[in-house]
Chain A
């Protein structure tokens, strides 16, 4: 019951503030939104801790029937197991903090604010539906719901063309992935005859040998399903190839970036992997692919993050990279580890984004780090909190990131497979780059010589408490979450904690092997992080001219990274521009010329004929009589010829 309140309260908030916000006003709408979120967070936390501290079996909260056609059934059910409850607790908690933060951040916004809070509520509800879904259709409902809310919030400042373009891009890229996801759901129904998780999971062993014919070949059905679901996850979680929307999504307000594009929505793909682990475990090829993509994304995004100048884009690529870590872990079968990192990452990444928001707020909406610097004395709280967030991100013990990220790196090593080794090297390299770009961000923003516009500096100020307060709470999480959750998520208590909500193939027990990795592997990430920090110090504090010289001497590599590996240009060249050309062709030739042309041409023909016919009417009686006689002659001829 409490569980249902946690999930439905945001819906009520969205309806109240969204539909009647104009009537009750901004303040009341904000109060309603925050109240329902606090309620949801309290209920969600109670539900999670009561589940974690008891030995209850996974349960369901049934909300009613949804689709019941032939053999196809889908109900509105809330799944109440550890995986869902942990996500609910995290989502409601982070979302509540971000709601509160938004009151300060959006305080000077020129639009009515009830719309923003209604969207945030709506997003939270959709995310909760996603994580508590008991069948694939309901999960897809939440999946699309968060996509919609993401679209609405990225394009929140609808009078900015860049924001609208980013919203459309996010929507389209996600649709591409969703097509695969939807096909995966359909294929699941075809193969299993059901989309209920329990029924699917129970039937998986019977379907291991099933094959599915596609693209002229016959493949194991479970592999195909796993691939399709993972491609869906790639879109939502911005993995390489389908990641292009995430950096652009930073056009949205910063709280949105923190909530949707760092802490919650983008992790839906990781959650999906964990949720579908009973199926994924039987698809080794797909899992290898997951690891490969995850590891590649982790490294790729980290390289790009090193040269970006927009503070939010750096953090966006960092998010992309950390999601890659999670997939790499999921791919080697360590779903628990990826969920662990998901939760800790939610704390410190939300902290970083909100801190960046605080900086932007302080600097009168300046986002370019090249025009910052030395802000530590203007915004000491923000600076300290950003340090905590980056320490956690870089994996400096004992902060949260060190626990979960080191576990991922160990897991890839422990996997022992070829792709695992690839992932190990990628993630270790990425750990180095992560530390580098994190401290590059810190140094460029808070330390060193100030390059800021003096005019903006005059107004630079620490953010109000309503913004710093949530940061403090998140900082506590970023410091302690790893230590607190370690035992539950991946430690000795993990089997009892998860209670079967995540499935591992018998004999694969990767969690047990985490402890057995060589000491060198355990300390490698830390060494990498310290090296990265040192390099950042060298580049941006000790010798600020060095990066410029480096960029000049390796201009090709620098431009390659600065332009994000030219993914956008590539997509523009092979997809967007041909599609636009085709559309333009269909528009100009197909629609304007053919479809419009026919009626227009006929109309012009009618009008032209009309002019000509009217000319016949000369008014001369002789012409009239002549016409009549011609008519008679014509008719007689016709008559005699065709008689």
Chain B
């Protein structure tokens, strides 16, 4: 039994338990200090896990339940980066909002473990295990500001709808199992070698599985929870939601479509195309009418998932490479955007209206400058990284002759540009309010790091493109 494949996950799980115990034991000193120490420990374990992933060997372990390959390593590193950024963002916010409890970093860590298991899953059982570990932690995180009504509401809605999605997923898994007699991805792949002989019931099972996972990436029409949860959850949690779990879920879909259902490409392609188009269109249209910037970001992330799904819908290695590059650019520009949003605070009150940003260009040119970089990137304007993310997926679609997807993608980008550019307009051209509170160091660091990455991605895309290429070849060789 090749148990070493799961060393990073095992390490993180053990570290998580240890940090939990540590936090409980220090309970009498419970407070901001304790939470800060635990957060630092979690960040340290993320770093160690990352090293373990880079140094770890590839292979299949646990009787075919768990697999590590270039794809999973790529995804896990990105997940760890997203989770670490999200955690850093929460440090000062939680302290200022009175949420600084040591359980927060531990929950982030546990959900991260769940995500890592998801992208390494090689069987429906592992998949479900990882998914639920992630989801349960996220439900709690959404309701972490339990004294505020909206956070509790967000957690509850997320939980109920998440449970429904899990039910759909489980039903799909059971259908697939019932028709094929196995849950192992590789065995499933072999049994579908001849797509003609596949039973309709099994296809229905695939649709249910896709529906369950589409909920996780908040793709239309399983996106309904997103705006409410994004708005209600504490802002760093929203930021975290929109980065690492999205990466995990989309990588999971890619693996699922690539390995067990790879031969059914002709069947599921149409499905992904529909979901992708619906997400792009709804994401760009519904965002226009928003006044709350967190809701706006919710629709923005729906739209971005639509773009990422273009790469999957193409069903080629180039397409998946596009997805993976898209996710890298997305994670960083999104984390940076949320760093700016968390900095929106006046006299100790956190703000989340778009109009609150007015005049930022004069009161805080630095923050407005980074925000401008991120908005340009989100809109896909060169030379920001967001442009290259879109470029690679559109390129794959065009190469595969899927012009409809590419054209709709470009059109919705144009609509999307409207509301991203509107934020820039509000910051620079609208009559200003008073300045924001002094922003903590952590936010400046994240904004600057993500901003520099976004701004200068075009200088060094080669390592990312190369790694994404290698990862994509594993699934769509």
Interface, chain A (partner B; CB < 8 A): 606-607, 609-611, 613-614, 616-617, 619, 621, 623-625, 627-628, 630-632, 634-636, 638-640, 642-643
Q: Are A636 and B204 in contact (CB under 8 A)?
A: yes
Determine the distance from Cα of A632 to Cα of B271 in the docked complex, in whole angstroms.
11
Q: Write out the residue numbers on chain A whose beta carbons fall within 8 Å of the beta carbon of B285.
A: 606, 609-610, 613
Q: Is the CB of A623 within 8 A of B210?
A: no
List residues of B (273-307) whose CB comes within 8 Å of A's CBs.
274-275, 282, 284-290
- How close is A624's CB to chain B, nearest CB, in angstroms? 4
Q: If the complex has contacts A628-B164, A639-B270, are A614 and B289 also in contact, measured as CB distance less than 8 A?
A: yes
Contact indicator A642/B165 (Cβ below 8 Å): no
| Given A621-B157, A624-B161, A638-B274: A632 touches B200 (CB 8 Å cut-off) | no
User: Contact check: which of A613, A628, A643 meets B203 at CB < 8 Å?
Assistant: A643
B224 and A632 within 8 A (CB): no
B74 within 8 A of A: no
CB within 8 Å of A: which of B160-200?
160-161, 164-165, 168, 200
Complexed CA–CA distance, A638 and B211 (Å)? 13
Answer yes or no: B391 CB below 8 A from chain A CBs.
no
Which 6 A-B residue pairs are closest in the complex by CB-CB distance? Answer: A631-B221, A624-B224, A610-B288, A613-B286, A610-B289, A614-B289
Q: Is the pair B288, A606 in contact by a Cβ cutoff of 8 Å?
A: yes
Q: In whole angstroms, how far apart are the Cα atoms of A628 and B215 in the complex? A: 9
Does B225 reach chain A (CB closer than 8 Å)? yes
For the complex, give the distance between the alpha carbons of A625 and B228 in Å.
13
**Is B271 touching A639 in the complex (CB atoms < 8 A)?**
yes
Q: How far is the CA of A638 from the CA of B206 in the complex (A)?
A: 13
Task: For B415, give the chain A residue with the smallest CB separation.
Answer: A606
Please measure, in the bound complex, the distance between the C-alpha atom of A640 and the C-alpha atom of B274, giving whole angstroms. Answer: 14
A623: B residues at CB distance < 8 A = 224
Q: Within residues 212 to 226 of chain B, which ones have a CB less than 8 A from any CB in chain A?
A: 215, 220-222, 224-225
The one of B168, B207, B228, B290 in contact with A639, judged by C-beta atoms closer than 8 angstroms, is B207
Are B224 and A635 interface neighbours, CB within 8 A? no
Given contacts A628-B168, A640-B204, A642-B270, 8 further A-B contacts (CB under 8 A): A613-B282, A614-B286, A623-B224, A625-B161, A625-B164, A627-B224, A628-B165, A639-B207
Given contact pairs A617-B224, A628-B215, A638 touches B289 in the complex (Cβ within 8 A): no
Contacts of B208 in A (CB 8 A): 632, 636
Separation of A616 and B271 alpha carbons in the complex (Å): 22
How far, in whole Å, are A475 and B59 apart by their CA atoms in the complex? 111
Q: Is the CB of B160 within 8 A of A621?
A: yes
**A610-B288, A610-B289, A611-B289 known; A617 vs B227 contact (CB < 8 Å):** yes
User: In the complex, A631→B418 CA distance in Å?
Assistant: 28
Closest to B165 in A: A628
Cα distance, A614 to B289, chains bound together (Å): 7
Contacts A635-B274, A636-B204 known; A628 to B289 CB distance under 8 Å?
no
On whether the beta carbons of B221 and A639 are closer than 8 Å, the reply is no
Q: A607-B288, A611-B289, A635-B271 are in contact. Are A640 and B225 (CB under 8 A)?
A: no
A635 to chain B: which residues have CB within 8 Å?
A: 207, 210-211, 271, 274-275
Nearest Cβ on chain B to A156's Cβ, whole angstroms: 39
Q: With A and B bound together, what is the CA distance between A623 and B204 in angstroms?
A: 23
Question: Per-residue CB proximity of B417-452 to A under 8 Å, as 1/0?
Answer: 010000000000000000000000000000000000
CA distance A611 to B225 in the complex (A): 18
A-B contact count (CB 8 A): 86
Please, how many angstroms separate the alpha-carbon atoms of A623 and B225 in the complex? Answer: 10
Please judge, given known A-B contacts A639-B271, A643-B203, whether A628 and B286 are in contact too, CB under 8 Å. no
A452→B286 CA distance, assembly (Å): 75
Q: Are B288 and A639 in contact (CB under 8 A)?
A: no
- Inside 8 A of A625's CB, which chain B residues have their CB? 160-161, 164
Residues A638 and B271 in contact, CB atoms below 8 Å apart: yes
Task: Check B415–A617 contact: CB distance below 8 A.
Answer: no
B404 neighbours in A (Cβ, 8 Å): none
Interface centre among A616, A617, A625, A640, by most chain B C-beta atoms within 10 angstroms, is A617
The 8 Å CB contact of A628, one of B157, B161, B210, is: B161
Shortest Cβ gap from A620 to chain B (Å): 10
Q: Chain A at the B interface: mostly helix, strand, loop or mixed?
A: helix
Q: How far is the CA of A244 from the CA of B225 in the complex (A)?
A: 74
For B284, the chain A residues whose CB sits under 8 A away are 606
Give Cα A640 to B206, complex, Å. 11
Nearest A-chain residue to B228, judged by Cβ:
A619
Q: How distant is the Cα of A610 from the Cα of B290 in the complex, in angstroms?
A: 9
Is the pair B211, A632 in contact by a Cβ cutoff of 8 Å? yes
Minimum CB–CB distance for B476 against chain A, Å: 21
Chain A residue contacts of B275, Cβ below 8 A: 635
Q: Is B30 an interface residue (CB 8 A)?
A: no
Q: Nearest Cβ distance between residue B454 and chain A, in whole angstroms?
A: 26
In the complex, A518 Cα to B285 Cα: how many Å? 93
Complex CA distance for A614 and B207, rounded to whole angstroms = 27
Chain A residue at minimum C-beta to C-beta distance from B163: A625
List residues of chain B with CB within 8 A of the CB of A617: 224, 227-228, 286
Bound state CA distance, A632 and B204, in angstroms? Answer: 10
Please, how many angstroms separate the alpha-carbon atoms of A610 and B289 in the complex? 6
CB distance from A599 to the nearest CB of B (A): 10
Q: A624 contacts which chain B residues (CB < 8 A)? A: 157, 161, 224-225
Q: In chain B, what residue has the closest Cβ to A603?
A: B418
Bound together, the chains give a CA A455 to CA B161 distance in angstroms of 93
For B251-286 the 0/1 string (1 means CB < 8 A from A) is 000000000000000010011001100000010111
Report Cα–Cα, A643/B207, bound state, in Å. Answer: 12
Q: Are B203's CB and A640's CB within 8 A?
A: yes
Contacts of B287 in A (CB 8 A): 610
Question: Considering the chains assembled together, what is the distance between the CA atoms of A617 and B274 in angstroms?
Answer: 20
Q: Is the CB of B270 within 8 A of A638?
A: yes
Residues of B with C-beta under 8 A to A636: 204, 207-208
Residues of the A chain whose Cβ atoms lie less than 8 Å from the Cβ of B210: 635
Report the minimal beta-carbon distance from A104 to chain B, rounded to whole angstroms.
52
- Tell me the smallest distance from the CB of A616 to a CB of chain B, in Å: 8
The distance from the CB of A577 to the nearest CB of chain B, in whole angstroms, is 41
Find residues 10-67 in chain B having any chain A CB closer than 8 Å to their own CB: none
Which chain B residues in 461-477 approach chain A with CB under 8 Å? none
Determine if A610 and B286 form an interchain contact, defined as CB atoms under 8 angstroms apart.
yes
Cross-chain contact B221 with A628 (CB below 8 angstroms):
yes
- Chain A residues lying within 8 Å of B415, measured Cβ to Cβ, are 606
A639, chain B: closest CB distance, angstroms:
5
Nearest chain B CB to A199's CB is how many angstroms away?
55
In the complex, the answer to whether B222 meets A628 with C-beta atoms within 8 Å is yes
- Does the CB pair A628–B274 fall under 8 Å? no
Contact A634–B271 (Cβ < 8 Å): no
B380 to chain A, nearest CB (A): 17
Find out whether the CB atom of A627 lies under 8 angstroms from the CB atom of B221: yes
Separation of A634 and B168 alpha carbons in the complex (Å): 14
Q: List residues of chain B with CB within 8 A of the CB of A638.
A: 270-271, 274
Name A607's closest neighbour in chain B (CB-CB).
B288
Please give, as numbers and ranges, the residues of chain A lying within 8 Å of B221 by CB-CB distance.
627-628, 630-631, 634
The distance in angstroms between the C-alpha atoms of A634 and B274, with both chains bound, is 11
Interface string of B97-111 (1 = CB under 8 A from A): 000000000000000
Which residues on B sit within 8 Å (CB–CB) of A621?
156-157, 160-161
Smallest CB gap from A643: residue in B: B267
Nearest CB in chain B to that of A613: its residue: B286
Known: A625-B161, A627-B221, A638-B270. A632 touches B227 (CB 8 A): no
Given A617-B227, A624-B161, A638-B271, the answer on whether A631 and B211 have CB atoms closer than 8 Å is yes
Contacts of A640 in B (CB 8 A): 200, 203-204
Residue of A nearest to B278 (CB): A631
B135 to chain A minimum Cβ distance, whole angstroms, is 15
16 A-B pairs with CB atoms under 8 Å apart are: A606-B285, A606-B418, A610-B289, A613-B282, A617-B227, A619-B228, A624-B157, A624-B224, A628-B161, A628-B222, A632-B168, A632-B208, A638-B270, A639-B206, A639-B207, A640-B204
Structural contact, A639 and B164, CB atoms closer than 8 A:
no
Closest partner residue, chain B, to A628 (CB atom): B222
